[in-house]
Amino acid sequence: MKPRVLLGMSGGIDSSVAAMLLIEQGFEIVGITFLFSDVNNSDETTVNDAKKLAEKLKIKHIVVDLRVLFKDTVITYFKGEYIAGRTPFPCAYCNPNVKFAQLQKYAEIENCDFIATGHYVQIKSYRGKKFIFRGKDNDKDQSFFLWGLSQKLIEKLIFPLGNYDKQTVKKLAKEKGFLSLANKKESLGICFIEGNNYRKFLKSEGIISKPGLFIDTKGNVLGKHKGITNYTIGQRRGLGLHLNYPVFVAKFLLNENKIVLGNYAELYKNRLIIKDYKILDNELVNNGAELIVRVRYRLQETPCNLNILNDERAEVVLLKSEAMIANGQTAVFYDGDRLVGGGFIESSE
């Protein structure tokens, strides 16, 4: 019998080419499409594209409505973070708590041995355990979003696109007669926010922060802000101030409803506290190995030491200071190309 794999299908080029590759590799596929919101993922076109592909490839396809779960879990988290003065990272929260948790659930229901998606990452063995490694295509590597997955789940994962770059995936789609997929526009930004306008979304959800004061690092008043949720750490443009020198959002004083502005040099940090962390190689961390940490998806890799404080929190000592670190975002750890963990940033200094 062929090994059976549950494949997350969005109707886009990545999961579609993943399906074609899995068939060539001898897998029996069950395709699954999740409905997450009324903005993008539940759009009729998305579901229909996935269904049409499944019919063409002659594979079973199911659609699961997760809109209520998604709203109660991810959107509730997203709003709560902004109310608390933090900058949420919904993908890092959704993947372990909703998307891959549900893939795991339906893999059991459908008697599937493996779970696959169209992510650009690789699975490799290291000292008898499977780990997520960065994908071949550095520009598309998505390991940064998957640090929250459990070891048990990783053992069942297959990522068919891990050894491909995006241009090759588009070429494969054309060669297999799916020209429309190769030319299909990809969705960007936050999947449940139309136009990626999070300020408009928060306002529609009744979250309206009150105007307050801009101050400098010494407490001097520089002007008035329009509400803390309208700003992000590192922001320079759109502050509405007319100073003769550049200033950036450096810190939120939630209890005082004040925003601290500073020069760029004052944005640099060298110590983080993370919470709700997950470490997949405890031996490496316990031995004090130097790791690479990324606090932004692109263009940043910093050597660090990771010190476990307790079951909920850990200290990250940056061996090279980094700027524009926002509370609520994630710190993701690597040993070379191997993903070894991550956590949500609680504070920085």
- Choose, from 91, 94, 112, 304, the residue flagged as catalytic: 94
Name the helix (H) or strand (E) containing 49. Answer: helix 44-57
- Choose, from 91, 112, 191, 304, the residue flagged as catalytic: 191
How does 328-338 read in b/e, with b if 16+ C-beta sit within 10 Å?
A: bbbbbbbbebb
Structure tokens at 52: 């049409």
Place of tokens 């590799």: 25
Q: Is residue 94 annotated as a catalytic residue, yes or no?
A: yes
Q: What are the distances in angstroms from CA 116 to CA 18, 154, 205, 325, 327?
A: 8, 10, 34, 32, 32
Q: Shortest CA distance to 165 belongs to which of 189, 132, 131, 141? A: 141
Structure tokens at 249: 């959002």
Q: Could you tell me the end-to-end alpha-carbon distance of the chain, in angstroms, rounded to an integer?
A: 56
Q: Are 80 and 202 in contact (CB under 8 A)?
A: no
Q: Is 11 helix (H, G, I), strand (E, B) or coil?
A: coil
Task: Report how far residue 3's alpha carbon sits from residue 323's, in angstroms, rounded to the nearest whole number.
Answer: 47
Q: Is residue 191 annotated as a catalytic residue, yes or no?
A: yes
Q: Which amino acid is at 165?
A: D
Just list the catalytic residues.
Answer: 94, 191
